[in-house]
Amino acid sequence: MDLVYVILVALLIIAIEWVLWHLFVSKSKGLIFPLETDESSFRVATPIRLRLFAIAHTAFLLTLICSALLFRW
Amino acid sequence: MVIPVRTRGTTEFQGKYPEEQFQFYFRQHWIRLFMPFARMILITAIIATMGYFLVELSFASGTGSRHIVIIMILLIFAIVQLEFLIHFYNHCLYMVVVTDRRIHRIKKTLFITDDQQSIDLWVIQDIVKSQHGIIQNTLRFGSLRVEAQESLLRLHFIPQVGKKYEELMHLREKARHWYIQHQSAHPSGSAPHPTT
pLDDT tens digits, B82-129: 999 999 999 999 999 999 999 999 999 999 999 999 999 999 999 999
Q: What is the pLDDT of residue B5?
A: 47
Q: In angstroms, what CA-CA distances link B181 with A14, A22, B47, B121, B194?
A: 58, 47, 65, 15, 10
The Cα B107–Cα A30 span in angstroms is: 12
Note the ipTM here. Answer: 0.89
pLDDT at B58 over 90: no
Please state, rounded to an integer, the average pLDDT across all residues of chain A.
85
Using left for φ > 0, alpha for ψ between -120 and 50, and beta otherwise, residue B139 falls in: alpha
Please answer yes or no on whether A28 and B92 come within 8 Å at the CB atom. yes
Rg (C-alpha) for chain B, rounded Å, is: 24
Residue type, B18: P
pLDDT of B190 > 80? The answer is: no
With CA atoms as reference, the chain A residue closest to B90 would be: A24
Query: Quick check: B174 and B181 in contact, CB under 8 A?
Result: no
CB B153 within 8 A of CB B117: yes
Select from B82, B89, B92 the Cβ nearest to the Cβ of A16: B82
Tell whether the model's pLDDT for residue B3 goes beyond 50: no
Among B23, B59, B92, B115, the strongest candidate for a mutation testing the A interface, having the largest count of A CBs within 10 A, is: B92
At residue B188, the pLDDT reads 61
The whole domain housing A34 covers: 3-71
| DSSP three-state, residue B24 | strand
* Termini Cα distance of chain B: 13
What is the number of structural domains in chain A? Answer: 1
Q: How many CB atoms lie within 10 A of CB A5?
A: 12
CB B143 within 8 A of CB B155: yes
Confidence of residue B196 (pLDDT cuts 50, 70, 90): very low
pLDDT at residue A69, as a whole number: 87
Q: Where residue A2 falls among pLDDT bands split at 50, 70, 90? A: confident
The predicted pLDDT at position A43 comes to 67
Q: What is the pLDDT, as a whole number, of residue B35?
A: 94
How many angstroms separate the first and last alpha carbons of chain A? 6
Confidence of residue A55 (pLDDT cuts 50, 70, 90): very high
B22-29+95-182: which CATH architecture?
Roll (2.30)
> Contact B92/A16, CB-based, under 8 Å?
no
Nearest C-alpha neighbor of B159 from the set B9, B12, B24: B24
> Using CB atoms, which residue from B67, B110, B159 is nearest to A27?
B110
Chain center to CA of A11? 13
Q: For residue B63, what are the CA distances in angstroms to A1, B46, B60, B67, B94?
A: 11, 23, 8, 6, 47
**pLDDT band (50, 70, 90) for residue B42:** very high
From chain A, pick out residues whose CB is under 8 angstroms from the CB of B92: 24, 28, 31, 33, 45, 50
Domain ranges of chain B: 22-29+95-182, 34-90
Which residues of chain A neighbour B106 with C-beta distances below 8 Å? 30-31
Q: What is the DSSP string of A2-58?
A: -HHHHHHHHHHHHHHHHHHHHHHHHHTTT-----TT--STTTT--HHHHHHHHHHHH
Q: Which residue of B has its CA nearest to A27?
A: B110
Q: Do B85 and A32 touch (CB under 8 A)?
A: no
State the pLDDT at residue B189: 53
